[in-house]
Amino acid sequence: MENSMKLVILAGGLGSRLSEETQIKPKPLIEIGGMPIIWHIMKIYSYYGIKNFIICLGYKGYLLKEFFTNYRLYSNDVTVDTAGNLKFHNNSSEDWSVTLVDTGQNTQTGGRLKRVKEFIGKEDFCLTYGDGLGNVDISELINFHNQHKRIATVTATHPSPRYGALSLDGTLVEKFDEKPVSEAGWINGGFFVLRHEVFDYIDGDTTALELEPLQNLASDRELHAFFHNGFWQPMDTLREKNILEELWQSGKAPWKIWD
């Protein structure tokens, strides 16, 4: 079922902790299973009927423009004649609309969002980061947002500890859990739903969404949390990239909800 909402993806950061790959490409183009992580994010939302995307570009944004401009070419078998004409054979590309906007090299997350305001319109919209995956039920998230009638909804998730957890009896290890999920607290997992009034909380390019805007929305009681207890994994480091790759190669990637 198609959903008319738009998804804004923040895709302009430097990705300095993944410099092994981001020296040559922006972080959203780092591949998991042979496809950029931003493609995986878009496939999640597309499964829930959201097919209109606005991508906030920054660092090496021209490579994202090239990827989506040539997406049909990458996705299909093709015959090329010497005059440069193309004939596509399987035509398996998704029916997406992708707006790519240069939001500046050094612009902060809130500033990037404000720079694409004209492309969003007055309707509620989704927002997420271009480097995190989860099996978030987007339909439930949007319904939750609509029920609470606040300006902003953020998906709250549990962080995954970087190291194995030990359950001890003195010096005896009773249980070793290599990849436990922390129950200690909730963190910002992205996957926002926002009303147009959010722009009133953003000053300009130097405004980080995660600082004054969200803090002030919370103070004004305009920020609700949608609790997600399922899979969620950011890709900030090479180790985390490898975790996602291993899950994909295993055939059990929790975020792969599409056929």
Global confidence as pTM: 0.89
Q: What secondary structure letter does DSSP report for 69?
A: H
Is the pLDDT assigned to residue 114 strictly greater than 70? yes
Distance, CA of 226 to CA of 63 (rounded, Å):
33
pLDDT per position as a tens digit, 131-185: 999 999 999 999 999 999 999 999 998 877 655 555 556 644 455 555 556 555 7
Please name which of 129, 102, 113 lies closest in space to residue 198, comparing C-alpha atoms.
113
Q: Where does residue 229 rank: exposed (0-12), middle (13-18), buried (19+ CB within 10 A)?
A: exposed
Please name which of 65, 64, 17, 42 lies closest in space to residue 162, comparing C-alpha atoms.
17
- Per-residue pLDDT, averaged over 111-127, amounts to 96
Tokens coding 18: 């993944």
Distance, CA of 72 to CA of 77 (rounded, Å):
9
CB atoms within 10 A of CB 225: 17
Give the pLDDT confidence score for residue 172 in this predicted structure. Answer: 46
Domains for the chain: give ranges and CATH numbers.
3-79+90-249 (3.90.550.10)
pLDDT per position as a tens digit, 5-54: 999 999 998 877 787 777 889 999 999 999 999 999 999 999 999 999 99
